[in-house]
Amino acid sequence: MSPYSSRVITAAEVGVDLDGVTVLDGVSLDVIPGEVLCLVGPNGAGKSTLLAVLSGERRPTRGTVAIGGRELGGIRHTELARLRSVLTQENSVSFPFRVSEVVAMGRAPWARTLEGRDDVRAVTEAMDATDIRHLATRRYTALSGGERARVSLARVLAQRAGTVFLDEPTASLDLRHQEDVMRIARGLAAEGRAVVVVVHDLSLASAYADRLALVAGGRLEAIGSPAEVLTEERIERVYGLPVELHLVGGRPVVVPTRGT
């Protein structure tokens, strides 16, 4: 049995109000170890806010979020950092640390613990997984946007938490590294970890997710397998764009209908 199997995250009727505006309303779902759950939806739908609530980065205005039956709000920050790791869109480092030092920051929750003895291996494996070993001595501030994104992902991987939250980790990456990131997500799930990823590319999400959660207007429009969630009618209604669906390897690929 996986050591992460009891760490299901359960959100029940979650709502979030910001500046008097409801950005999430009545969202209920489970984050399950051994699965990749992709959050998809239009810009401004509430995906990043939902990820922040599920990870404990933001407290909901209404409803509850619990991990293994314990409400996130009652868990100390250090313990929470050992349970889950989070890559946010705003993740950045202002000081000119070397890449290896930035990745090693992911090991901070394990300082003065037995797990801390594995720091060097964790950092090395994270850099290998994200294809940045050759950047180890470079200054973070001198990297390109795509290189910084991969370093930030490596920091999250080095944390070795049982649940991993990634907010648009493929946004600034080329085609190869987008695929690499999603393969990493699948590998983490295969180890028994729970992985939640915000992805804009519906076809990319479809190719790698066990389940998709489609968020629209702050509400959970649909949740299920890619084939269950991605229908032409639903995508057109939510995105306001006609599309065609094609099956590749049994998974939907979304192609916008373009005029000739």
How far is the C-alpha of 32 from the C-alpha of 116, rounded, in Å? 26
The reply to whether 239 falls in a domain is yes
Q: What is the largest CA-CA distance in the chain?
A: 63
Give the pLDDT confidence score for residue 5 in this predicted structure: 66
Residue type, 237: R
Paired with 85 in beta bridges are 164
How far is the C-alpha of 259 from the C-alpha of 143, rounded, in Å? 40
| CB-based contacts of 1, cutoff 8 Å, min separation 6 | none
Q: Please give the order of strands across the beta sheet that includes 62-67.
A: 21-31, 9-18, 62-67, 70-71
Residue among 196, 142, 146, 205 at smallest CA distance from 171: 146
The residue written with tokens 């509430």 in the block is: 46
The reply to whether 144 falls in a domain is no
The reply to whether 86 falls in a domain is yes
The reply to whether 56 falls in a domain is yes
The reply to whether 139 falls in a domain is no
Paired with 14 in beta bridges are 27
User: What's the average pLDDT block by block, 10 residues per block, for the chain (260 residues)?
Assistant: 77 96 97 97 95 96 95 93 91 82 95 89 96 95 91 95 95 91 95 96 97 97 97 96 94 88
How many structural domains are present in the chain? 1
The reply to whether 54 falls in a domain is yes
Task: Quote the pTM value.
Answer: 0.94
The reply to whether 202 falls in a domain is yes
Give the pLDDT confidence score for residue 19 in this predicted structure: 92
CATH code at position 171: 3.40.50.300
3 state SS for 92-161 = CCCCCCEHHHHHHHHHHHHCCCHHHHHHHHHHHHHHHHCCCHHHCCCEHHHCCHHHHHHHHHHHHHHCCC
User: Is 158 within 8 Å of 180 (Cβ atoms)?
Assistant: no
For 13, the domain range is 9-93+160-256
Regarding beta strands 36-40 and 211-216, do their DSSP bridges make them parallel or antiparallel, or are they unpaired? parallel
The reply to whether 143 falls in a domain is no
How far is the C-alpha of 224 from the C-alpha of 212, rounded, in Å? 6
